[in-house]
Amino acid sequence: MFPQEWAMSDEVRQALHNRQAVVALESTLIAHGLPYPVNQETALEAEEVIRAAGAVPATIAVLAGVPTVGLSPAQIAELARREQVRKASRRDLAAVIALQQTAATTVAATMALAAAAGIRVFATGGIGGAHRDAEPFDISADVVELARTPVFTICTGAKSLLHLPRTLEILETLGVPVLGYQTETFPAFYVGDPVPTLPVSARVETPQQAAAIFATHVRLGGGGALLAQACPAELAIPQVEFDAWLAQATHQAQVQGIGGPRLTPFLLARIAEASGGRTLQANRALIVANARLAAEVAVALTAQAAELRNPGRF
């Protein structure tokens, strides 16, 4: 529970009270990851498929200092349209709340707020991770939050612009299970070619198996876990095409001196331009697919919720 004021939609409050399946959704991909109006359309479509699969969506952000769990369609529209929304990762949460600011939440920050609200399942596009260059040194707080916060995150791996082998190693070091949904390999976001050198820690075939592993991990005192599935095949981008766009975008970032939290949104926007919108289409499709899978996992998990509420009984 939060020590200060926070807001929860009636729908989410009711669902949590009745111990029904709830799926958290992040807001950084709305404010920074996708351009208007694709961001708004994607956010609403993700909510729609979660409801269709029998769960309740809870899009999370901080609005004028109030952590808000279950944004209304109007609040999503506002976040989608507004320029210059702050991006809050884990370290920023206390400041934006205490200083009564509005911020979109990253994977790390969304996990923290979801856990505080009692939500165990979370859908996103790709997690943050270790960036490719040694300089500037940059590892996302997402991997640390995954290590400590018991929220099951459903994603398409990590963004293709990251150093994926290093990201996977860090997750292993931190003890985070990386499950592949009907796949042996950790997906590279919308890049379709499977990378044999990126094995997942376990392959699962069904939402029930995934839920059982997450519940067991939590019973063992573990933090978060990842469930990764490949980008829908018909929209996936070939590796060589992506590499060319990334090289171009990275060069632009260097020339313009873009770094820190601004780097990811900048690179994603340049790559979307260079691909003529193909990465946007793929990005949208994979987020919606993850929302659907997350809802199925959340429903499967409600059957195991009693165990989750009584950790330490393993």
Please identify, using beta-carbon distances, which residue of 92 and 138 lies nearer to Mn ion.
138
Select which of 26, 47, 145, 296 is catalytic.
Answer: 26
**Distance between first and last Cα of the chain:** 25
Residue 136 Cβ vs Mn ion, minimum distance, rounded to whole Å: 9
Please identify, using beta-carbon distances, which residue of 9 and 264 lies nearer to ligand PSU.
264
- Of 13-21, 71-79, 133-141, 206-214, the segment contacting Mn ion by CB under 5 A is 133-141
Q: Please tell me the distance from the alpha carbon of residue 236 to that of residue 75, in angstroms, as a whole number.
A: 31
Q: Please tell me the distance from the alpha carbon of residue 228 to that of residue 192, in angstroms, as a whole number.
A: 13
* Stretch 248-267: interaction string toward ligand PSU, x if CB under 6 A: -------------x--x---
- CB count within 10 Å of CB 314 equals 9
Question: Is there a catalytic annotation at residue 87?
Answer: no
Residue 260 Cβ vs Mn ion, minimum distance, rounded to whole Å: 7
C-alpha radius of gyration, the chain, whole number: 18
Q: How far is CA 264 from CA 110, 121, 241, 261, in A?
A: 17, 24, 19, 7
Residue 12 Cβ vs Mn ion, minimum distance, rounded to whole Å: 29
* Stretch 82-101: interaction string toward ligand PSU, x if CB under 6 A: -------x------------
Question: Is there a catalytic annotation at residue 241?
Answer: no
Please identify, using beta-carbon distances, which residue of 26 and 138 lies nearer to Mn ion.
138
What residue 296 binds from ligand PSU, Mn ion, none (CB within 5 to 8 A, per partner kind)?
none
What residue 142 binds from Mn ion, ligand PSU, none (CB within 5 to 8 A, per partner kind)?
ligand PSU
What residue 302 binds from ligand PSU, Mn ion, none (CB within 5 to 8 A, per partner kind)?
none
Please identify, using beta-carbon distances, which residue of 138 and 296 lies nearer to Mn ion.
138
Please identify, using beta-carbon distances, which residue of 138 and 145 lies nearer to Mn ion.
138
What residue 159 binds from Mn ion, ligand PSU, none (CB within 5 to 8 A, per partner kind)?
ligand PSU
**Number of residues located near Mn ion, criterion CB under 5 A:** 1
Question: Is 278 near ligand PSU (CB under 6 A)?
Answer: no
| Count of residues in the chain | 314
Q: Please tell me the distance from the alpha carbon of residue 198 to that of residue 191, in angstroms, as a whole number.
A: 14
- HEC sequence for 241-304: HHHHHHHHHHHHHHHHCCCHHHHHHHHHHHHHHHCCCHHHHHHHHHHHHHHHHHHHHHHHHHCC
Out of 26, 92, 138, 142, the residue judged to bind Mn ion by CB under 5 A:
138
The upper half-sphere exposure of residue 214, i.e. CA atoms within 13 Å in the direction of its Cβ, equals: 34
- CB count within 10 Å of CB 158 equals 30
Position closest to Mn ion via CB: 138
- Name the one residue in this structure whose structure tokens are 């293709």: 160
Q: Which of residues 106-145 bind ligand PSU (CB under 6 A)?
A: 106-107, 125-126, 128, 140-142
Binding site residues, Mn ion, CB under 5 A: 138
Catalytic residues: 26, 159
